[in-house]
Amino acid sequence: MRGIAMSIIAVGLMLASCGTKTETKMDKNVLSFDGRQASSMSVIACQEARGDQSSLTLAIDEGLDAGLTVSQIKEALSQLYAYTGFPRSLNALGTLQKVVEQRKAMGKAIEEGKNATPMAANYNALKQGTEVQTQLSGQPFNYSFCPAEDYYLKAHLFGDIFARDNISHADRELITVSALSGLEGVMPQLQAHVRGAMNMGVTEAQLRSIPLSLRAHGLEAEALRCEAAIAMAVDGKSEAVVSPSAWPLGDSNTAYAQYFTGQSYLAQMDGGMANVSFEPGCRNNWHIHHGAVQVLVCVSGRGWYQEWGKDAVELKPGVVIAIPEGVKHWHGAAADSWMQHLTYHTDMRQGASNEWLEPVTDEVYGKLK
């Protein structure tokens, strides 16, 4: 625990030079949080997106200790309904309310903070939102495929929501990047908001501090996802592969690549166990385990396991396969999904080995839906 605490303190100290809280009129293009507050807000936003109320409780409590106001946290959780949905936003606001009530009962310090200034009578949400969206995108953006969604984005999200002045536009993008890092399958949006954050005044140092804050709070997969988005959006990397789930991706499975069709990754774990990740369409060759039983535990995505002469078995999270010694078989991902499984060997005899055979043909694999 002391090591974790020291990591959090180190991140807070490093971030302290990245933003300065001001009591004067808020600059929309500057973080209004100091370093420790920015770190806490990143974790709050990510936990909101993950829907983990227990961890969110701790993050909110830490954020209030860091000097975030109730108004700032409330604003962040309200904004995130546009990115993570009403259920997560409402659940998170309920958690905030409980934390506030508990702190009041315990006599702990709480700063309510200021509310947003009411909109002027002649406020034009569509006009204001279009200007904000253009700044964020770096150019005019029109989603002509779905005009209704285009209107919601401009008039409501970037108009009504971004016009609220109790946090800055830079704050809002730090919150959004942190939250999207907590979601699977939204990498295009995460990359867009990484670029948008910088367009809204978040500095590169502040941006790169987000994954450090997440990792310091045990959010490793989320930190890797954020780092990958930064690598592509800021550093110009053409591709950055991240795990499709909370399970580690590991390294490219180069040692066994000759026995796979498609790309796989291998993460060695404790106790002789490994996590194997298969990209969509990836599968290993037919093979036989001599002198051992192999056990597969699917933990993410969807795939297939098939024994010679039998129908394929669908692999989904929670499915466990014990592969008998001497049975010819293969396993891999579905054509349209990543698949991850843990694997280990049991009942091993001296001289146990793998016998790699022919690839699974496209004809055989193509029949599986």
Q: What would the pLDDT profile of 26-58 be if each residue is shown by its tens digit?
A: 799 999 999 999 999 999 999 999 999 999 999
Residue 19 has pLDDT above 80, yes or no: no
Domains in the chain with CATH codes: 2-116+167-233 (1.20.1290.10), 117-163 (no CATH), 251-366 (2.60.120.10)
> What global pTM score does this model have?
0.73
What is the per-residue pLDDT across 199-239, written as a single tens digit (0 to 9) for each? 999 999 999 999 999 999 999 889 989 999 999 899 888 66
- The whole-angstrom separation of Cα 300 and Cα 342 is 10
Give the three-state DSSP class for 322.
strand
Instruction: Report CA-CA distances (Å) from 197 to 7, 65, 121, 193, 350.
Output: 25, 26, 29, 6, 57
Give the chain's mean pLDDT: 91
Identify the burial level of 71 via C-beta atoms within 10 angstroms of its C-beta, where 0-12 means exposed, 13-18 middle and 19 or more buried. middle
Distance in angstroms (rounded) separating the CA atoms of residues 285 and 360? 6
Q: How far apart are CA 246 and CA 38, in angstroms?
A: 24
